[in-house]
A and B are shown apart, each in its own frame.
Chain A
Amino acid sequence: MATKASRSAARIMMAPAVVLLLGWMLVPLIMTLWFSFTKYLPLRGDSIERGLDWVGFTNYSRFLSSSSFWPSVQTTLIMVGGVLLITVVLGILLAMLLDQPIWGQGVVRILVIAPFFVMPTVSALVWKNMLMDPVNGIFAHLWRFFGAEPVAWLQDASLSSIIMIVSWQWLPFATLILLTAIQSLDSEQLEAAEMDGAPALKRFWFIVLPHLARAITIVILIQTIFLLSIFAEIFVTTGGAFGTRTLTYLIFQRVIDSQNIGLGSAGGVYAIILANIVAIFLMRIVGKNLDA
């Protein structure tokens, strides 16, 4: 991109993609905003062709005053936080383990990455039916083998179960990114710290962890984006029951189950606001790690 000509050529060539992506984002966003201020109940005969009634902030106040709203926000935050905590902590441990020279390293690494390639719906179903089923699940067999009463995971520990499933899916992602980061750590730094009298735990704390800070930040930011919109895992396991209704799921129920598009759209706008609040906090906490 040295010359003026190549710069303007680049702009022209990028323009279609930029316009397309912008449109892709702006059109749904504007329609959501529009719907959220209207009464839009398709089963009662409302449609765009016939014109929607403008109802102001009614949808917003109704969504907010619903008894399910605050619990759903809480559930969302617990789920995102729980998955982040598990994936980052276990990811660091696994990455350090995989960094050790072991026999069959290549195969082990592929196996570790495998869960990431399983579709969310499939993995949730596998967990639900093969592992967590209170009668036939492997966990139930295991519990009975040790003489314990099998746990009805998705009823009695529903939120933790879903956190477990989602963590299982995202752990490979965290591990992979953290592994590459650990591999870039200069071994002489660790040796220097050893000479300086730092035992293993302090070497981890003072050398390895700061080295990983940037990778951890990336993992947290990227995962948060995807975790805020978790849906499939809830849909196929609990269907939003037993305290697993996140904000995303609540919106889905308002739009699809109750067929109230206006109310759901208002919820969507709240979801955007929540995502931005989370983003601001995250950038405040970990964003400084991204400055070189």
Chain B
Amino acid sequence: MGQIQLKQVTKSFGDTQVIPPLDLTIEDGEFTVFVGPSGCGKSTLLRLIAGLEDITSGHIEIDGKDATDVVPAKRGLAMVFQSYALYPHMSVRKNIAFPLRMAKMDQSEINKRVEGAAAVLNLTDYLDRRPGQLSGGQRQRVAIGRAIVREPAAFLFDEPLSNLDAALRVGMRMEISELHKKLETTMVYVTHDQVEAMTMADKIVVLQAGVIEQVGSPLELYRTPRNTFVAGFIGSPKMNLITGPEAAKHDAHTIGIRPEHIDVVQSGGLWQGTVGVAEHLGSDTFFHIHNTGLAETLTVRAIGDVSLTHGDTIHLTPRAAELHRFSADGLRIA
């Protein structure tokens, strides 16, 4: 079991309130991702749940029991840190066994669990090495191993992949997702990378300045962003947000159209402009379009390798069905 409930939780550092009253329920077994730009309070929120920071007011309940004043060790949560926070003077085996040793568990039980975790994480050959002798990905797995042996009610991940190189990050992303499928334990994952959020989450919590902007499944957020912030944050490349007369045509203050929902046509499109930078990725090409008569630069995705280069004229038609409309205060108009 691992249901986590935050009720009217606030956090202030001195006079600055970094998290205004916030309510959130993380269901048992869910993979929840906190995502937001740097400094949005997502790590602080995770640390509040972990108990590493005291909340200023409000309540935290774990499995329906008030855990507000419970010390971190007794909350039954395990955390994986950004720096991995492995103990450098201990072997991998001792690192993984540390929480069990602290819990004064039987040595034979400790061995069983450590070897079990090592088998799951492909660390069996490295058990007697020191963390300093491991690669980044292996260290990450040791940190996860140290978390899983405790059989916690929930796992907390604080930007665990940000120190890894791009290729390894994709691999570890899959491994963590698979681990979640296997363990079916609640996981709370903090990241600033919306791709990680989209690919891993059951539920995404988008935060800005300590405020929850939207909670929902990845596709809900993608299809129906509640406001312009979520619209701009979720999806890569960013949604085009257009204001001015073009938006007024649709009775909105702002309209949004994703780069993948604009079609490149031979002639007679709704908009036309000149190609600025063209990013050729092979499978897709992203064009940045200027001089469209709109105030904003447009980003457009074309499938495959389209042979348009800098300075070429391009004709575009947005798909009307995929248009998002937002009011002056940034909220979605249904």
Contact = CB atoms under 8 A, between A and B. Distances in A.
Interface of A: 186, 188-189, 191-199, 202, 206-207, 210-211, 213
Interface stretch (B14-22, B95-103, B120-128, B277-285): B95-103
B90 to A, nearest CB: 8
Nearest to A211: B89
A207 B102 CA distance: 13
A211 B86 CA distance: 12
A186 B87 contact: no
Contacts of A210: 87, 89-90
A189 B102 contact: no
A195 B73 contact: yes
Given A186-B83, A202-B102, A195 B89 contact: no
B83 A196 contact: no
Given A192-B81, A211-B88, 10 more contacts: A186-B83, A192-B79, A192-B85, A194-B71, A194-B73, A197-B103, A199-B73, A202-B102, A207-B87, A213-B89
Name A's interface SS.
Answer: helix
A197 B98 CA distance: 9
Q: Which 4 A-B pairs have the closest CB atoms?
A: A197-B73, A192-B85, A196-B99, A188-B85
Contacts of A197: 73-74, 99, 102-103
Contacts of A191: 52, 72, 79, 81, 85
A188 B103 contact: no
A202 B87 CA distance: 13
B109 to A, nearest CB: 15
Contacts of A193: 87, 98
Most chain A beta carbons < 10 A, residue from B78, B85, B89, B103: B85
Most chain B beta carbons < 10 A, residue from A196, A197, A211: A196
B50 interface: yes
A197 B105 CA distance: 12
Contacts of B98: 193, 196, 198, 206
Nearest to B103: A197
A195 B102 contact: no
B148 interface: no
A211 B87 CA distance: 9
Most chain A beta carbons < 10 A, residue from B77, B79, B82, B90: B79
B146 interface: yes
